[in-house]
Chains A and B, each alone.
Chain A
Amino acid sequence: MRSKLFLLLSLLLTLPVSAEFLQGDALIARAKQFASELEPDAHSALTGLERTYKVEVKDNKVTVYGHKIWFYPTTASVQNNAYESIYFNQLNEQLTVLTAASITPAGKVNYVNESHQKVIAEDTYNTFTETEKMIVSFPAVEVGGITLIAYKIEETLTPERPFWSIRSYPQQTADMLNYSFEAQWDDSARLYFDNTSELVSCEQQPARVFCHAANLVAAESDSVVNWGDQLGQITLSTEPDWQAIKAQVRPGFVNAIENNQGVQPLVDEFADSADGKQAQIQRIFEFVARDIRYVSRSEAGYDIVPHNVDETIDNRFGDCKDKSALLIAMLRAINIDAEPVLVATKRERPGMAGAAAVGLFDHVVVCFSFAGQQYCLDPTDPYTQWQSTSDWIQGRVALNLSNDASLTTIPRPRYRWQLTAQSDITITPEGVQQEFVTLTFLNEYASLMRQNMAGLSQPKRLEYMVDVYHEVANEDAEPVFEISGVDTMSSRLTTHSETIYEPYFNPQQGISLAENDSWLRGELSSSWLNNEVYGQFYPGFLVESEYKIQVPHEWALNRFPPDLNLEHQYGKLTRSYRFEEGDELDTLYVSTTLSMPSRYLAVEEIKAFNDLLNVFYKQAPITFGHDS
C-alpha cells in the first residue's frame, strides 16, 4: 500500500514537468484545440503554438522526437513560412516524419505526402559537416490556418562514432506560446546538459532533464546577426568537456598525417625553388590551397576524419580536413610544428558555445607559430597569402586539437582591409586634368579583390575595376586600367589607372579646387554599421593616401588643405601637406592616413561610431586654391 502511494505521488510530481510528445490524431486534436482557443487579431505574424523536443537514449540508441504547431495569421506568413526544415546527418541519422498536415480555418485537415518532402544538402563550401535538410512543404495552407508536424530522428552510438549532441534555441524569430525540451537516458550513454537561455526554466535529475517556457517573444532581427552568439540555447552532449572533443577528433588527424610517403618528395621539390623558410611555407601553402582542389568528402567514416595524406596527394582533391592534414604533414616536414584547429565559422563568442559538442564546429584549419607570430591558414582558401588570415575564420570560435587549451578564437588582424592609394594629378592652365592612380590592396583586401577577379577573363577584370572606379571615384570617367597580382597568392594586388578629365572650371574665374580623396571616402562609406539591436564586430581598415597635384606656377596657390589630426577612440584621421614651387609647375603633396582598428562595438556604440565615420567622410575633400 505504501509503495503504491509512493508511486502515485511520484507520478503526480512528474506530470507537470514532462514534455508531451504527440503525433497522429492526438497532435491534430491538440492543434484544433489551440485553434479554438486563439483570440482573433491577437497575432499579426507567424506564431508558434507549440514546440516540443523529447530525447531518449536507451541501449546506445538516441531518438529525438519533435513536434511543432504553427499558426498563420497573414498572407505574408503563409507565403514565407508554410514549410518546415528539419536538419539531420544522413550518414548517421534516420529521419522519419510521423505526422505532417495543415488545418484550414474551417477545420479541414490536409496531410503531407511524399511529394511534399525533399532532402537537400545544407553544406556550404569550406565546411566539413555533412548535414542535410528535409524541407516539408505544407499543402493547402490558408490565412488563419495551422500547420503541424511530428518527426523522429534516430541514431545509434557506435565505438567508431560514440559521440552525439543536440542544440535547441527556445527563442526564435517568431513568437512561441509553448516550448518544452525533455531528455532522459540510461546507463549506456551519460549526457551532459547546458542551458544559456534565461527564458526557460529547467529541472535536472540524475538521468533526466526537463525545460519549458511559455509565451516566448520573437527575437528581434538585425542587419548582421550570428544567432548562435545572440540567442540562449539548450545543448545536450555525450562529451563532458572540450578535451573529450579533442580526444574524439585528434586520432583521425594523427592517422591521416602518418600516411605521408608522398610528402617528402614534394617538399624537397619545393625547397629547390624556394629560398628560405618563409618562401617554403608560401610554396607549400600555395600547393595545398591551389593545386589540391576542394571536393567535399565527408562520406561514411570520414565526417570528422580526414583521408590519408597520400590519398589526397594522389587525388589532388580533398575537403578542409584532407587539405589541413596534408598541409600539416608538409609543414612538419620543414620543421614547422603545425596543428589542426577546429573552427565554428558562425560563432564568435566562446561563452555562448554551450556544452562541449563536436557539432559546434563546421570547419578545420591549420595553425602554427613562426618567428614569434601565430598563423592560422585555411587551406581551402586559394586567394589569401599565408601571412594573412582568411576573413571568414577571423575571430571565430576555435579548438586547437593539440594542446590543453579550451575554446579560443582565431586571431584577428588589427586592420582587415588595408589599401594604399597614390594619385598623381597634373592640371594644365586650361584646367584639363591627367590623373594616374596606383591602388595597392594589401593582405585580406588583396585576397578579397583576387577572389572577385580570379574567375574573370582579363577584359572582364578590367571592366570590373572600371566599375569599381565608377562607384568609388567618378561615374563619368573612363579610366584605363592595368592590374597585377590577381593570379598569385601574394600579399598585394595592384592596379594602375590613367584618366583624363576635361576642364570643369574656368581658371580665369579663380582657382578654388576640392579634390575628393575618393578611395579614402569609398572605404569610409562602406564601413557604416547598420545594426540596431545587437552589437557588431568591426573588422578595421587602414587607408594611406598620397596625392601629388601639379598646377601651373602662375596660379600662385596660397590656400592649402588644413592639417588634420582627428584622433578618437574608434579611429584616427591625419593629413599634412607640402608645397614646392617650380618654374612652370608647382606641386602640392598631400598625405592622408585613416586608421580604424578592428573592435567589437556594443549596439549603443554603433551610432557614435557611424557619427565619427561621417565626420571623417566630410574631411575627404582636399581643398586648395588662390585667394587675394
Chain B
Amino acid sequence: MTDSPRTYHKVAPYRAVWLEGLLTIVTMGCYLFVWFALAARDCKRITGRPFTPILWFFAPLVCLPLPFASHILLKTFSDIEAQRQLPGWSKMQNIAWNGLFSGAYIGAYVFAEFIDSQTLQFVLWAVAFMLFLLLHHRLNRIRQAFESEPMMHRFAGFNALEWVVGLLFLALWAGLFWALGQLKLVNVETTRIEPGTEIVVPEAGVRFTVNQEGWENVPIGTVTDGTAEYELRGPASLNNMWYAVFTYTEHDEFSEVAQNRYATYLEVLPGAQCSASRSLQEGTDLLRSVVSCENTEAGDKQLYISHLIEREKGLVELVGYMWVAPRKYTQYKPQFIKDVKGLITDEK
C-alpha cells in the first residue's frame, strides 16, 4: 500500500471565500463543523488516507481536540501541496496558524464560560474567523488543483442543501432584525448599562445601581408580562438574568404582597430554599421586605429575589431573576443580590 495521491471520488469545487464566510456567520459558526468534515472528506479522497469525516465534525464542536485535528489537516494540506507542487505554507506557518486559530477559538469559549468579557470574546471570534478564511483560501487552491477531475454539481461551489440552509438562516436573521427594529420603534431603545451606573426610574420614583457588566435596559414586556415599570436584562452570555421594577397602589397591603412573592417563588422554583426578612426604612415606620428563593434545576441555579418598599402611598418593588450555570451563579449572585437590596425610593 503506497501513500501516493489518488482520486477515488470527486472533491468539492472552488468556493468563494466571502460566501464561505457569510455561511459561517449566518449559521452562527455552526457551518465550521461542516467545513471541517468536508475538508477531511476531500483530503481522504485526494490522499486516500483513512479519515472518518464525520468525526472531524466534532473537532471544533468539542473544542479540545481542535489543535490536534488542525495539525493533521494542515500536515495533509502540506503533503498534497508538495505532491502537486502547489505553493503552500511552511511548517512554521502551519504551527503559527494552528496555535493562533486553536488559541483564539478555545479562548473565546473560555471567556464565554468563565470570564464573561463580551468584548474580548468577540475579538477572539473575529481572529479565529479570519484565520479560518485564510485556511479556506488555501483549501480552495488545493481543490482548484483538482479542477480537471470530475466534480459534483454545484452552483457557485455550493450544493443545493447548503444554499437552502444558508438562505433559510439568512431569512431568519433578516426577520429577527426587522422584528427588533419594530420593537425599537414602539418602545424604549435598548441601551447598554455601564457597571456602576445608577438607574433612575422616575415613573416609579426609585433608583438603584447596577454594578455588573453586560446589563442593558430592554422594552417593557421583554422579561415580564408587561406589568413592570422598567426592565433590565443581564449579560447575554448567561441563560437568563433580569431586573424589573413594579409599583403597587395604596390599596395593596404590604404584608400580603410580600407573602405572595414568597408563595409564588416557592411555586415556580420547585424545592427552593427561601429566606424572608423585614425591617423598617431608616428613620421611618415604613417597611421594607426582602424575599429570596433559590433552587437547582437540571444542573443550573435559579434565584428569585424581591425587594419591596412601603411608601406612604403605595409600594414599589425591584425583582431580580437569574438562571445560570453553577459556576456563574457563584460569580454573579453576591453583587446581583446587593444591587437589588440597594433599591432606594425617592418618594416617601
A, B bound: yes
Chain A residues packing against B (C-beta within 8 Å): 512, 558-568, 608, 611-612, 615, 618-619, 621, 623, 625, 627-628
**B245-296 interface (Cβ within 8 A of A):** 254-255, 258-259, 262-263, 266-267, 270, 272, 274-280, 285, 287, 289, 291
> How far is the CB of A138 from the nearest CB of chain B, in Å?
51
User: Which residues on the B side are within 8 Å of A625 (C-beta)?
Assistant: 263
Q: In the docked arrangement, what's the CA distance between A611 and B296, Å?
A: 42
Q: In the docked arrangement, what's the CA distance between A421 and B277, Å?
A: 23
Central interface residue in A563, A567, A612, A627, by most chain B CB within 10 Å: A627
Residue contact A566 to B279, C-beta cutoff 8 Å:
yes
Given contacts A612-B285, A615-B285, contact A564 B277 (CB under 8 A): yes
Taking a contact as CB atoms closer than 8 A, the residue among B262, B267, B280 that contacts A628 in the complex is: B267
Instruction: Name the 7 nearest CB pairs between A and B, nearest first.
Output: A562-B276, A627-B266, A563-B277, A627-B263, A612-B285, A566-B280, A565-B279
Q: In the docked arrangement, what's the CA distance between A561 and B291, Å?
A: 11
> How far is the CB of A397 from the nearest CB of chain B, in Å?
33
A-B contact pairs, 16 of them (CB 8 A): A558-B272, A559-B274, A560-B274, A560-B276, A563-B277, A564-B278, A564-B279, A565-B279, A567-B279, A608-B285, A615-B285, A615-B287, A618-B254, A618-B255, A625-B263, A627-B266
Query: Who on chain B is nearest to A621 by CB?
Result: B255
Query: Who on chain A is nearest to B258 by CB?
Result: A562
Residue contact B280 to A562, C-beta cutoff 8 Å:
no
Q: In the docked arrangement, what's the CA distance between A558 and B270, Å?
A: 10
> How far is the CB of B267 from the nearest CB of chain A, in Å?
6
Taking a contact as CB atoms closer than 8 A, the residue among B254, B263, B278 that contacts A563 in the complex is: B278
Residue contact A559 to B279, C-beta cutoff 8 Å:
no
Query: Who on chain B is nearest to A626 by CB?
Result: B266
Residue contact B277 to A568, C-beta cutoff 8 Å:
no
The count of residues in chain B whose C-beta lies closer than 8 Å to any C-beta of chain A is 21
> How far is the CB of B8 from the nearest CB of chain A, in Å?
63
Q: In the docked arrangement, what's the CA distance between A623 and B258, Å?
A: 12
User: Which residues on the B side are within 8 Å of A564 (C-beta)?
Assistant: 277-279
Residue contact A559 to B263, C-beta cutoff 8 Å:
yes
Residue contact B266 to A562, C-beta cutoff 8 Å:
no
User: Which residues on the A side are within 8 Å of B270 (C-beta)?
Assistant: 628
Query: Who on chain B is nearest to A558 by CB?
Result: B266
Q: In the docked arrangement, what's the CA distance between A512 and B256, Å?
A: 13
Central interface residue in A512, A559, A612, A625, by most chain B CB within 10 Å: A559
Beyond A611-B285, A627-B266, list 6 extra A-B contacts (CB 8 Å): A559-B274, A560-B276, A562-B277, A562-B291, A564-B277, A564-B279
User: Which residues on the B side are within 8 Å of A559 (C-beta)?
Assistant: 262-263, 266, 274
Q: In the docked arrangement, what's the CA distance between A558 and B258, Å?
A: 16
User: Which residues on the A side are within 8 Å of B267 (C-beta)?
Assistant: 627-628
Taking a contact as CB atoms closer than 8 A, the residue among A566, A611, A621, A627 that contacts B278 in the complex is: A566
User: Which residues on the A side are within 8 Å of B259 (C-beta)?
Assistant: 623
Residue contact B263 to A566, C-beta cutoff 8 Å:
no
Q: In the docked arrangement, what's the CA distance between A568 and B267, Å?
A: 34
Chain B residues packing against A (C-beta within 8 Å): 254-255, 258-259, 262-263, 266-267, 270, 272, 274-280, 285, 287, 289, 291
User: Which residues on the B side are within 8 Å of A623 (C-beta)?
Assistant: 259
User: Which residues on the A side are within 8 Å of B277 (C-beta)?
Assistant: 562-565
> How far is the CB of B311 from the nearest CB of chain A, in Å?
13
Residue contact A563 to B285, C-beta cutoff 8 Å:
no
Taking a contact as CB atoms closer than 8 A, the residue among A566, A618, A628 that contacts B266 in the complex is: A628
> How far is the CB of B160 from the nearest CB of chain A, in Å?
52
> How far is the CB of B279 from the nearest CB of chain A, in Å?
5
> How far is the CB of B321 from the nearest CB of chain A, in Å?
18
Taking a contact as CB atoms closer than 8 A, the residue among B262, B276, B287 that contacts A566 in the complex is: B287
Q: In the docked arrangement, what's the CA distance between A562 and B256, Å?
A: 12
Q: In the docked arrangement, what's the CA distance between A559 and B263, Å?
A: 7
User: Which residues on the A side are within 8 Å of B258 (C-beta)?
Assistant: 562
Q: In the docked arrangement, what's the CA distance between A568 and B284, Å?
A: 7
User: Which residues on the A side are within 8 Å of B280 (C-beta)?
Assistant: 566-568, 615
> How far is the CB of B264 from the nearest CB of chain A, in Å?
8
Q: In the docked arrangement, what's the CA distance between A621 and B259, Å?
A: 12
> How far is the CB of A217 from the nearest CB of chain B, in Å?
35
Q: In the docked arrangement, what's the CA distance between A5 and B270, Å?
A: 107
Residue contact B274 to A563, C-beta cutoff 8 Å:
no
Residue contact B262 to A619, C-beta cutoff 8 Å:
no
Query: Who on chain A is nearest to B287 by CB?
Result: A615
Q: In the docked arrangement, what's the CA distance between A558 and B267, Å?
A: 11
User: Which residues on the A side are within 8 Å of B276 (C-beta)?
Assistant: 560-563
User: Which residues on the A side are within 8 Å of B275 (C-beta)?
Assistant: 563
Q: In the docked arrangement, what's the CA distance between A608 and B285, Å?
A: 8
Q: In the docked arrangement, what's the CA distance between A561 and B279, Å?
A: 13
User: Which residues on the A side are within 8 Å of B289 (C-beta)?
Assistant: 562
Q: In the docked arrangement, what's the CA distance between A562 and B255, Å?
A: 10
Q: In the docked arrangement, what's the CA distance between A559 and B272, Å?
A: 10
> How far is the CB of B81 from the nearest CB of chain A, in Å?
66
Query: Who on chain B is nearest to A562 by CB?
Result: B276
Q: In the docked arrangement, what's the CA distance between A618 and B285, Å?
A: 12
> How far is the CB of B284 from the nearest CB of chain A, in Å?
8
Q: In the docked arrangement, what's the CA distance between A562 and B287, Å?
A: 13
User: Which residues on the A side are within 8 Å of B285 (C-beta)?
Assistant: 568, 608, 611-612, 615
Q: In the docked arrangement, what's the CA distance between A628 and B274, Å?
A: 13
Central interface residue in A565, A611, A615, A625, by most chain B CB within 10 Å: A615
Q: In the docked arrangement, what's the CA distance between A627 and B264, Å?
A: 8
Q: In the docked arrangement, what's the CA distance between A346 and B189, Å?
A: 71
> How far is the CB of B121 from the nearest CB of chain A, in Å?
39
> How far is the CB of A20 from the nearest CB of chain B, in Å?
56
> How far is the CB of A595 from the nearest CB of chain B, in Å?
14
> How far is the CB of A573 from the nearest CB of chain B, in Å?
9
Q: In the docked arrangement, what's the CA distance between A566 and B263, Å?
A: 22
Query: Who on chain B is nearest to A563 by CB?
Result: B277
Q: In the docked arrangement, what's the CA distance between A611 and B287, Å?
A: 12
Q: In the docked arrangement, what's the CA distance between A563 and B262, Å?
A: 13
Residue contact B266 to A619, C-beta cutoff 8 Å:
no
> How far is the CB of A604 from the nearest CB of chain B, in Å?
15
> How far is the CB of A2 from the nearest CB of chain B, in Å?
74
> How far is the CB of A600 from the nearest CB of chain B, in Å?
19
Q: In the docked arrangement, what's the CA distance between A611 and B286, Å?
A: 10
Query: Who on chain B is nearest to A623 by CB?
Result: B259
Q: In the docked arrangement, what's the CA distance between A621 and B278, Å?
A: 14
> How far is the CB of A622 from the nearest CB of chain B, in Å?
12
> How far is the CB of A416 from the nearest CB of chain B, in Å?
23
Q: In the docked arrangement, what's the CA distance between A482 and B238, Å?
A: 63
Q: In the docked arrangement, what's the CA distance between A562 and B270, Å?
A: 20
Taking a contact as CB atoms closer than 8 A, the residue among A558, A566, A612, A619 that contacts B255 in the complex is: A619
Q: In the docked arrangement, what's the CA distance between A598 and B263, Å?
A: 38
User: Which residues on the A side are within 8 Å of B254 (C-beta)?
Assistant: 618
Query: Who on chain A is nearest to B288 by CB?
Result: A566
> How far is the CB of B136 from the nearest CB of chain A, in Å?
54
User: Which residues on the B side are within 8 Å of A618 (C-beta)?
Assistant: 254-255
User: Which residues on the A side are within 8 Å of B262 (C-beta)?
Assistant: 559, 562, 627
User: Which residues on the B side are within 8 Å of A561 (C-beta)?
Assistant: 276
Query: Who on chain A is nearest to B290 by CB?
Result: A562
Q: In the docked arrangement, what's the CA distance between A187 and B254, Å?
A: 73
Central interface residue in B259, B267, B275, B291, by most chain A CB within 10 Å: B259
User: Which residues on the A side are within 8 Å of B263 (C-beta)?
Assistant: 512, 559, 625, 627
Q: In the docked arrangement, what's the CA distance between A561 and B276, Å?
A: 7
Query: Who on chain B is nearest to A567 by CB?
Result: B280
User: Which residues on the B side are within 8 Å of A608 (C-beta)?
Assistant: 285
Given contacts A608-B285, A627-B266, contact A558 B274 (CB under 8 A): yes
> How far is the CB of B236 from the nearest CB of chain A, in Å?
32
User: Which residues on the B side are within 8 Å of A627 (C-beta)?
Assistant: 262-263, 266-267
Query: Who on chain A is nearest to B265 by CB?
Result: A627
Query: Who on chain A is nearest to B286 by CB?
Result: A615
Q: In the docked arrangement, what's the CA distance between A409 and B1, Å?
A: 117
Query: Who on chain B is nearest to A577 by CB?
Result: B276
Q: In the docked arrangement, what's the CA distance between A567 and B272, Å?
A: 29
Q: In the docked arrangement, what's the CA distance between A568 and B278, Å?
A: 13
Taking a contact as CB atoms closer than 8 A, the residue among B274, B278, B291 that contacts A565 in the complex is: B278
> How far is the CB of B285 from the nearest CB of chain A, in Å?
5
Q: In the docked arrangement, what's the CA distance between A558 and B287, Å?
A: 24
